[in-house]
Chain A
Amino acid sequence: MAAQHGEHTATQLRLHGRGGQGTVTAAELLAVAAFEDGLYAQAFPSFGSERMGAPVEAYCRIGSSPIRTREPVARPDVVIVQDPTLLGQVNLFGGLASTGFVIVNASCPVQELELDGLSELVPLTHIVSVPATRIALKHIGRPTPNSALLGALSALTGLISTAGVIHALEHRFAPAVAHANARAVMEAFDVVVAERGEAISAAAN
């Protein structure tokens, strides 16, 4: 019975950013990536008449069966923070599951981030920071961290494959732009794998 619908089996993600940074696009790419991987997905923004720079949220659910619910994501399994200036400003981690994952777009290590006791909520190995904006500027030439963050998500959780993300990028963007984004995806993926490897061995010691 429980497996007939998506609610109990679906992974719930919440993405936080500021208007104009591509947070909604990130959720959309995520949903398409999951689709490419043969999964069901639902993505939608928290709507408003936000102007550039105002905090925005977008939601995504990914699962192996159809997703019916329409509630916003109040109990995320994954929180992605596209803009580190939101830390301490907005309630980013409300409802986060104790087994949840957090990805923060930041160029400093996790320990230096103002995470408000987050490490008491979830294991340290579940939190990564990735310099997504820097990676984006390097490969794409624009400060749009969303594709890099999806690469990080893939590495951290395995929820979606990098191939899925890249297919999603190819659907959305012209070939040159898609390939540039794909390079950002792969670099972020590698960064997180490395960071996680360190974190796991640090936790083990």
Chain B
Amino acid sequence: MLQQIEGSRAVAEAVALCRPNVVCAYPISPQTHIIEAIGAMVKAGELDAEFVNVDSEMAAMSVLIGASAVGARAYTATASQGLLYMMEAVYNVAGLGLPAVMTLANRALGAPINIWNDHSDAMSVRDAGWVQLFAETNQEAIDLHILAFSLAEELSVPVMVCVDGFILTHAIERVDVPEQAQVDRLLAPFEPRHVLDPSDPVSIGAMVGPDAFTEVRYLASIKLLRALEVLPPLAQRHSDELGRSVPSLVSPYRLDDADVVVVAMGSVLGTIKDVIDEMRDGGHAIGALGVSCFRPFPKEQIRDALATATRVVVVEKAFSLGYGGILATDIALAVAGRGIPIHTVIAGLGGRPVWAASLRTCFDSALDATLSETTFLDLNEEVVAREIGRMAATRRSGPSAENVLRDLAERSRA
């Protein structure tokens, strides 16, 4: 049914349709509306689930581990600092081969503390063995959650759906919420691959030593890579049932005959597509590639999609300090050997708006081959230069974050 609702509400509805047995979460901005909405549904009797108010994010993921281990379908949501707090358990659930689904309402990692959107939280767990899916719109957020439960239980692998905090979670937009019957056709009851059952006891979670660890980890990776095979037909099945295109691995946009291709993940693709259209209207051969499944990394699909590109601009909302772009590095690996220049544009950190006009400037430079290898979009170079000067002038230059804030405040008052 078509509705105009907040993204968090849309996610809550999608999760409820998937009939989770156990839902738990610890509150953190900007995920709170999702969990509150689910809690309200449980209270109203619309959703028959055990709702556990846990004492920390570590507890939340641990509850998922316990519930999943006895064959219950389990769900949680978190962001940023909460994800870091449960980090041990995030690796643990993947290593134990337990399906679980989590919404990651993407938010910047501190310090400095920041409640706004970027992808640094998702990047911090990219090696943990979870499937990571990125939603471009709230419609995709709905469809990807249903897909996530399907995929997680099929492969016995945990799946996180990344939904840009505030930008998507708190945006009110038109979505089509599926009917219960549709979701029931897509999602059979959970049949675990291994389960704690008194009638057939097993021990789960043994220590594995040097003689077997490599093989166990190799097998875990094989299992994760299977998502690359399983996801496309699964997404197709979901698309057929729902009557619209459910994203699987990559989402190309006007790639035919594109010279320059912009690669990105999440909601920023919406703004990028507007710029692409504007530039196409001006006769420029430019297109975009959305990466919907970031882990496992769809290397072959990306390589194929970029087959005719002569230059790639990766717009990403995170970076590896002291190193460079993260997605960009993965993209470079995908097209290795073809000699295509890869540009990194780091944008939207900590919730800074990604202006279409600024992207346009970058893309024009890319077409002119004058774009730098790495660009921090809309960086205030003067503020940065002043702080560098302060640090050089005196040992006790003070905390950089506070200095920058004071600098900006003084300039705006002047």
- Give me the interface of A with B, judged by CB distance under 8 Å: 1-2, 4-5, 7, 27-28, 31-32, 34-36, 40-45, 47, 49, 66-72, 74
Contacts and interface: CB of A to CB of B under 8 A. Distances in A.
Contact of B281 (A2, A68, A74): A2
Interface in B262-318: 267-271, 273-274, 277-278, 280-281
B115 A5 contact: no
A71 B271 contact: yes
Contacts of B325: none
A44 B167 contact: yes
A69 B271 contact: yes
Contact of B172 (A5, A31, A49, A72): A31
B355 A28 contact: no
A7 B102 CA distance: 32
A41 B115 contact: no
Interface of B: 2-4, 6, 30, 115-116, 137, 166-167, 170-174, 267-271, 273-274, 277-278, 280-281, 351, 353-356
**Chain B CB within 10 Å — which of A34, A36, A43 has the most?**
A43
Contacts of A74: 355
Contacts, number: 77
Given A28-B6, A41-B4, A69 B171 contact: no
Contacts of B273: 5, 68
B277 A1 contact: yes
A68 B172 CA distance: 13
A68 B271 contact: yes
B167 A35 contact: no
18 contacts: A1-B277, A1-B280, A4-B277, A5-B277, A7-B274, A7-B356, A31-B4, A35-B2, A36-B4, A44-B172, A49-B115, A68-B137, A68-B273, A70-B171, A70-B267, A70-B354, A71-B271, A72-B353
Given A43-B171, A47-B351, A69-B271, 14 more contacts: A1-B280, A2-B281, A27-B172, A32-B4, A41-B174, A44-B171, A47-B30, A49-B115, A70-B167, A70-B267, A70-B268, A71-B354, A71-B356, A72-B353
Contacts of A40: 174
